[in-house]
A and B are shown apart, each in its own frame.
Chain A
C-alpha cells in the first residue's frame, strides 16, 4: 500500500491549485471581466475538496466546502466580490495552504488549525445567508434536469466504472470510492462486473479485475462525481450518464464526456444515443467491409452509423468533434513533463563531467597528431556542446512566477503600511537558472519590502512633494551582455545621503569627516549593521537587511548597483550570471599557472607595450579611451619576472572596463565551475575553479572583484593589499 505516494500527489496538486487560486484572486481586482478567474478559483477549491474527501481529510473537506459555497454564490452573481471578500478569501487560501502543509507533516488537525477554520468559517457565513443551507452546487447545463417528468425512467446518475489493473497496486481501495459516492447521495442500485476475473493460476491477487455499474441518486454535479475518481481516472474507465437524458441533450452530453480515449461507438452507446444492438450491427458492417476489401480502410463507424441511420448526423459530428478535441488536448498536455529537480541536477552534473572528459580527449588528440582521431573528437565535442546547452536550458525557468508572488506581498504590505502602491511587472518571461531563481526570492523580498517601507513615502509626504497618491513599484528582468539584470524601481523618496552618512558614522562604519563619492555613500547601506529607518517597523529595519541581500547576491556570483535620486526614487539593479554550472572560459597564463576568465566579460586582447599610457598610474590608452589596468602577477604576489611582451585582456562588467595584464593568452574553452569551498572564501579575485583537459585545476578569476580592485584604488571600505607594490618589470 503506497498511499503516501498518492497523498504526495494530492499535496502537490493542491499546492498548484492554491497557487492558481491566489493568482486568480489577486488578478480579480484589476480584471474587468473576472468570470474566468472566479471559475478558476471555484474549480481549484472544488478539486481540493474532492481529493481531500478521498483521503478522508475531514477538516479540509469541511472548510473548503464552505469556501466553495461562497465562491459559488459569487459565481452565480448572488453576491459581489468586494475587496473585503477578496481579503477574506485570501486568508482562506492561506489557511487551506496551512492545512495542506500540516497534512503533509502527518497532522490532520491541531487545536490552532481548528480554531483558524472556525474563525474564518464564521466570517464566511454572512456571505451564505439569504439561502440558508447551501448544500449542493448547482447542476451544470449539461446535466440540467429539463422537464423532470420526461424520461422518468432514470432519476439517477448511472456510473460505469472499470478499475484499471493497477488500482490495488497503487494503493487504492475500490470500495472507498463506493463509500465516498455514498456521501454524495444514495446508491440505488449496484452491480459488480467480474467478467475479467481469470480462473485458477492466472489469477494475480495484486491485480484488480473489478468493474462496477451503479445508479446514484444525488444532487451533486458531474464535476463532483468525476472528482471522486480523480486518482484512478488515468488507468480506469469511468463513464457517467446524467439523469433525465433526452435526445437533444445527448449532444451536449457527448461534449461533456470525461476525457477518456475511447471508441466512437462506445461514446454513443454510453451516451444512450444508440443501443448496444445498434453498435454491434454497425461494428459488424464495418468488419464485413474490411474483410471484403482485405484492407482496413472500410468506412468509419461514424459514417456507417449515419448511413445506416442509427444516429442523426449532428450527434456523430459532436462525438467526432469531441474525439478530436481530446486528441488536441492530449497533444498539448504531452508538451510538459514534470521531472524531479534532483534528477535534473544530476544530469547537469554529468554533462559537466562530459564536458571535461571531452576537452581532455580533444587535448589528447591534438597531442598525438592523428587527423582522423582529431576529427572524431571535434564532432563529439560539438555534440557535447549541444547537449550542454540543452541540459542547461532544462534548468532554466521563467522568473515570472517569482515576480507574481510579489503581487500578494505588495498588496499585503502596502495595506498594512496604509500606503497605496501599484506594482508593475516586466520581463516575467526572462529565463534564469532554477537554482538562481530559488536563491533570489529571499533577497528580492527584502528589497521589495524595503522599497515599500522606506522607499515610498506616506500619502502626506507624497502630496506635499506633488507626486501622485499611488506610489509605483516596478520589477523588471532582462538580458544584458551575458548576464541577467533584475531591476527593482520605486518612485519614492530616494536615499537621503546626509542621513546615510550620519548613520554610518554613528554605527562606526566610517570615520567622521571621511570623503566619499556618491556611489560609495549609497553602497554604505549594504554594510553590516546598517539601517536607516528611524523607527524599526515590523517589516524591515532589523539591521539585517541589505548586507544579507548583498551576501546572497555575492553567493550567486552577482552584483548590485544602486541608483538613487533624492525625492525622485531609487532603482536597484541586480546583475546575475545566466547559469551557475558551466561557462565559456578564456584561459590566460601567469608564470607556470593558468587562470580562467569568463569569456562573456572579455572584450578584446592586446599587447601592453604599444597601449601603455602610464606605468605609475596603471593606465592604458585604448584608442583614446583611458582604462585602468592591473597586473595579476602583482595582485597575486607571484614570484618571478614577467616576460618582455606582456598581454592585456580588456574586460567589462556592467558599465566598467579595465585591463588585466597577464603573461600569456591561451585561448577559449568550455569549463565547468567547481566551487572552492569555505577555506577559500576570503580569497579576493578568485571566484571558483575548473578542471582542465589535463586534469589540472585552474582558478576562475572573479572579474567584478578585480575590476573593483583596479578602478577604486582609494575607497577606504574594503579589504585590499596592505602595501603598495613596487612595479616589477624589466
Chain B
C-alpha cells in the first residue's frame, strides 16, 4: 500500500523533451481487436497480467469491474466495449494497463483491458498527423493523431477523452 500511495501522489511526468526544436513523445503501443493503438507513456503507471477482477452489478458495459491494486480498489475499463466493439476473449496475453488520468482537480487511477502490449515508441511531433475525419471505426474525438513509424501507422488515443469518468459513468448500464 505504501508503494502504491507513493505512486498515486506522484504527478504525471511531462512528455520527455529531447533537443530544442524536435520534441519527441514516447508512446506505448498495444493491440486491440487486431488494430495497433498507442497512448502517451506519461499516463501509464504499470502493466499487469489480466486477473482478479470483481464485477460490479448495474454498471455500464464498458466497466469490466474493480480490482485490487496493492490495497487500492480501482475500476477496470474494457477498452473494446468502450469503442463499441464486442469484448475480446481473455487469453494469456491479455493485459491490464494501469493509467493515471487527471480530470479537473482529481486524479483517477484506472485499468484498461487490452489484447496485448507491443512496445514503446518515440514519435516526434513532426511525425504526428491530425486524425482523419472519416473512414474510421473509432469515434474521431477518441483519436489524438496518427503517428507514422516508417511505413506503418499507429492511431494515438486521446486518453483523457477515452477514459472520461463522467462519460463512462453516464453511459448505458449493461443489460
Query: A696 near B169 (CB under 8 angstroms)?
Result: no
B60's closest neighbor in chain A, by CB?
Answer: A679
Q: Is A677 an interface residue (CB 8 A)?
A: yes
Residues of chain A from 629 to 644 with CB closer than 8 A to chain B in the complex: 635-638
Hey, which chain A residues are within 8 Å of B54, CB to CB? 593, 689, 696-699
Considering the chains assembled together, what is the distance between the CA atoms of A689 and B55 in angstroms? 11
Considering the chains assembled together, what is the distance between the CA atoms of A699 and B55 in angstroms? 9
Q: Is A356 an interface residue (CB 8 A)?
A: yes
Category for how many chain A residues contact B: 20 to 34
Query: B68 near A696 (CB under 8 angstroms)?
Result: yes
Residue interface bits B30-72, CB-to-A below 8 A is 1, else 0 = 0000000000000000000000101111110001011110011
Considering the chains assembled together, what is the distance between the CA atoms of A684 and B175 in angstroms? 15
Query: B75 near A677 (CB under 8 angstroms)?
Result: yes
Hey, which chain A residues are within 8 Å of B170, CB to CB? 682
Hey, which chain A residues are within 8 Å of B106, CB to CB? 678
Query: B56 near A686 (CB under 8 angstroms)?
Result: yes
CB distance from B12 to the nearest CB of A (A): 18
Task: Count CB-based A-B contacts (< 8 Å).
Answer: 81
Query: B71 near A353 (CB under 8 angstroms)?
Result: yes
Of B52, B72, B110, which is within 8 A of A674 by CB? B72
If A637-B175, A697-B66 touch, does A683 touch B71 (CB 8 Å cutoff)?
no
CB distance from A695 to the nearest CB of B (A): 5
**8 other A-B residue contacts (CB within 8 Å) besides A683-B56, A691-B68:** A350-B1, A635-B57, A674-B73, A675-B73, A677-B74, A679-B108, A685-B58, A696-B54
Considering the chains assembled together, what is the distance between the CA atoms of A677 and B65 in angstroms? 12
Hey, which chain A residues are within 8 Å of B73, CB to CB? 674-677, 689, 691, 697
Q: Is A680 an interface residue (CB 8 A)?
A: yes
Q: Can you list 15 residue pairs at the A/B interface with Cβ under 8 Å?
A: A350-B1, A593-B55, A636-B57, A636-B58, A675-B73, A680-B56, A683-B56, A684-B58, A685-B57, A691-B71, A695-B68, A697-B54, A697-B65, A697-B68, A699-B66
Considering the chains assembled together, what is the distance between the CA atoms of A691 and B70 in angstroms? 10
Residues in chain A within 8 A of chain B (CB atoms): 349-350, 353, 356, 593, 635-638, 674-686, 689, 691, 695-699
B57, B63, B71, B166, most chain A CB atoms within 10 A: B57
Considering the chains assembled together, what is the distance between the CA atoms of A432 and B149 in angstroms? 60
Q: Is B90 an interface residue (CB 8 A)?
A: no
Residue interface bits B108-140, CB-to-A below 8 A is 1, else 0 = 101000000000000000000000000000000
Query: B165 near A697 (CB under 8 angstroms)?
Result: no
Query: A676 near B57 (CB under 8 angstroms)?
Result: no
Residues of chain B from 62 to 104 with CB closer than 8 A to chain A in the complex: 63, 65-68, 71-75
Query: B169 near A682 (CB under 8 angstroms)?
Result: yes
Residues of chain B from 132 to 175 with CB closer than 8 A to chain A in the complex: 165-166, 168-170, 175
If A678-B108, A679-B168, A682-B169 touch, does A356 touch B71 (CB 8 Å cutoff)?
yes
Hey, which chain B residues are within 8 Å of A699, CB to CB? 54, 56-57, 66
Query: B58 near A353 (CB under 8 angstroms)?
Result: no
Query: A683 near B75 (CB under 8 angstroms)?
Result: no
Query: B57 near A638 (CB under 8 angstroms)?
Result: yes
Q: Pick the 3 closest A-B CB pairs, nearest first.
A: A636-B57, A697-B54, A674-B73
If A679-B63, A681-B169, A682-B169 touch, does A637 touch B58 (CB 8 Å cutoff)?
yes
Hey, which chain A residues are within 8 Å of B58, CB to CB? 636-637, 683-686
Query: A680 near B59 (CB under 8 angstroms)?
Result: yes
B55's closest neighbor in chain A, by CB?
Answer: A593
Considering the chains assembled together, what is the distance between the CA atoms of A78 and B134 in angstroms? 89
Query: A683 near B67 (CB under 8 angstroms)?
Result: no
Considering the chains assembled together, what is the distance between the CA atoms of A681 and B58 in angstroms? 11
Considering the chains assembled together, what is the distance between the CA atoms of A686 and B54 in angstroms? 13
Of A677, A686, A697, which is within 8 A of B57 by CB? A686
CB distance from B6 to the nearest CB of A (A): 13
Considering the chains assembled together, what is the distance between the CA atoms of A568 and B63 in angstroms? 50
Of B1, B68, B72, B75, which is within 8 A of A680 by CB? B75
Query: B1 near A353 (CB under 8 angstroms)?
Result: yes
Considering the chains assembled together, what is the distance between the CA atoms of A682 and B59 in angstroms? 8
Hey, which chain B residues are within 8 Å of A696, CB to CB? 52, 54, 68
Hey, which chain A residues are within 8 Å of B168, CB to CB? 679
A681's closest neighbor in chain B, by CB?
Answer: B169
Query: B66 near A689 (CB under 8 angstroms)?
Result: yes
Hey, which chain A residues are within 8 Å of B75, CB to CB? 676-677, 679-680
Hey, which chain B residues are within 8 Å of A682, CB to CB? 169-170
Considering the chains assembled together, what is the distance between the CA atoms of A6 and B128 in angstroms? 55
Considering the chains assembled together, what is the distance between the CA atoms of A675 and B55 in angstroms? 15
CB distance from B59 to the nearest CB of A (A): 6
Considering the chains assembled together, what is the distance between the CA atoms of A677 and B8 in angstroms? 14
A356's closest neighbor in chain B, by CB?
Answer: B71
Hey, which chain B residues are within 8 Å of A356, CB to CB? 71
Of A638, A685, A697, which is within 8 A of B67 by CB? A697
Considering the chains assembled together, what is the distance between the CA atoms of A674 and B1 in angstroms? 13
Considering the chains assembled together, what is the distance between the CA atoms of A593 and B67 in angstroms? 13
Considering the chains assembled together, what is the distance between the CA atoms of A322 and B125 in angstroms? 79
Hey, which chain A residues are within 8 Å of B165, CB to CB? 677-679
CB distance from B136 to the nearest CB of A (A): 26
B58, B72, B110, B169, most chain A CB atoms within 10 A: B58
